[in-house]
């Protein structure tokens, strides 16, 4: 087989913290003839990746600019505060924004939460990335409020996290251009939505069936003596009436 005969890959972009592995495994089972290429992209420019045609679909976080894009919300993430393990917050199960009022709370430039106003006191400068902010938390500079998946992604042994009950939440969504949805895009939509392989939109279209009757299915001629009139007599049996008295 020459290189020109190979099926081009289906490219799925995804933002940090999102784990598309389970969907990639399903894709390999259902569409083995088309390789799936996974590409991690920064959260800030995730929507532009599919707008520019650099990926077929993208797993991104809301809120984002959805102009010219389809989007299917998949799940909502828990919001947590990342703190040093010896911080007082580590001793409780959860906190509110008011509990962080006296803390320096870092607000990185790539923050994905739709804050009207972040809790706590602002740092002198905003870190460029979430990864940079995590390093500052470890250095004792402040705390960081992020989706739980990002706290796990940047896990450190000297840090922990706790849920923030009243913080905005991030939604992970599957997005692609508003142009006509391709068969492969429909296949991936079926996978993330949990459709079975036998689902109408979760499998490739089946070829049309020949609806003409086969010779064995043709109507057989009725057997002799098996008309409705004869069957009714046969089923009823001979008629028996009461014997007449002789006068």
Tell me the residue range of the domain where 45 lies. Answer: 8-76+171-192
The answer to whether residues 92 and 69 belong to one domain is no
Determine how many CB atoms are found less than 10 A away from the CB of residue 37.
14
pLDDT at 65: 86
The answer to whether residues 68 and 142 belong to one domain is no
User: Is the pLDDT assigned to residue 245 strictly greater than 70?
Assistant: no
The answer to whether residues 20 and 138 belong to one domain is no
End-to-end CA distance of the chain: 105
Query: Phi/psi of residue 136, each to 5°?
Result: -70, -35
CB 200 within 8 A of CB 183: no
Q: pLDDT, tens digit, for every residue of 40-53?
A: 999 888 999 999 99
Residue 45 lies in a domain: yes
pLDDT at 217: 47
The answer to whether residues 84 and 154 belong to one domain is yes
This prediction has a pTM of 0.74
Average pLDDT (168-178) is: 95
Residue 133 lies in a domain: yes
Q: In what order do the strands lie in the sheet with 171-177?
A: 36-40, 10-14, 57-62, 171-177, 69-76
Q: pLDDT, tens digit, for every residue of 95-104?
A: 999 999 999 9
The answer to whether residues 72 and 83 belong to one domain is no
pLDDT at 194: 87
Task: Please state whether the peptide bond connecting residue 63 to the residue before it is cis, i.e. omega within 30 degrees of 0.
Answer: yes
Number of structural domains found in the chain: 2
Q: pLDDT, tens digit, for every residue of 69-80?
A: 999 999 999 999
Residue 203 lies in a domain: no
* % of the chain with per-residue pLDDT over 70: 77
Residue 47 lies in a domain: yes
Dihedral sign of CA atoms 184, 59, 46, 21 in order = negative
The answer to whether residues 45 and 105 belong to one domain is no
């Amino acid at each position: 087989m020459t290189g020109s005969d190979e099926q081009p890959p289906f490219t799925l972009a995804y933002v940090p913290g999102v784990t598309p592995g389970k969907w990639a495994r399903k894709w390999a089972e259902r569409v083995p003839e088309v390789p799936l290429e996974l590409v991690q992209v920064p959260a800030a420019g995730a929507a532009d990746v599919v707008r520019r045609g650099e990926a077929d679909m993208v797993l991104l976080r809301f809120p984002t600019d959805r102009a010219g894009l389809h989007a299917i919300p998949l799940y909502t993430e828990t919001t947590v505060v990342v703190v040093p393990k010896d911080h007082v917050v580590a001793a409780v199960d959860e906190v509110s924004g008011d509990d962080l009022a006296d803390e320096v709370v870092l607000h990185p430039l790539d923050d994905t939460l739709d804050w009207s106003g972040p809790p706590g006191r602002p740092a002198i400068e905003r870190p460029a990335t979430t990864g940079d902010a995590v390093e500052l938390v470890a250095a004792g500079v402040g705390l960081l409020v992020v989706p739980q998946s990002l706290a796990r992604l940047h896990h450190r042994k000297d840090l922990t996290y706790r849920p923030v009950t009243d913080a905005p939440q991030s939604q992970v969504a599957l997005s692609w251009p508003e142009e006509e949805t391709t068969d492969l895009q429909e296949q991936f939509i079926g996978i993330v939505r949990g459709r079975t392989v036998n689902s109408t939109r979760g499998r490739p279209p089946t070829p049309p069936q020949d609806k003409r009757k086969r010779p064995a299915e043709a109507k057989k001629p009725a057997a002799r003596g098996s008309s409705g009139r004869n069957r009714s007599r046969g089923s009823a049996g001979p008629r028996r009436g009461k014997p007449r008295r002789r006068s």
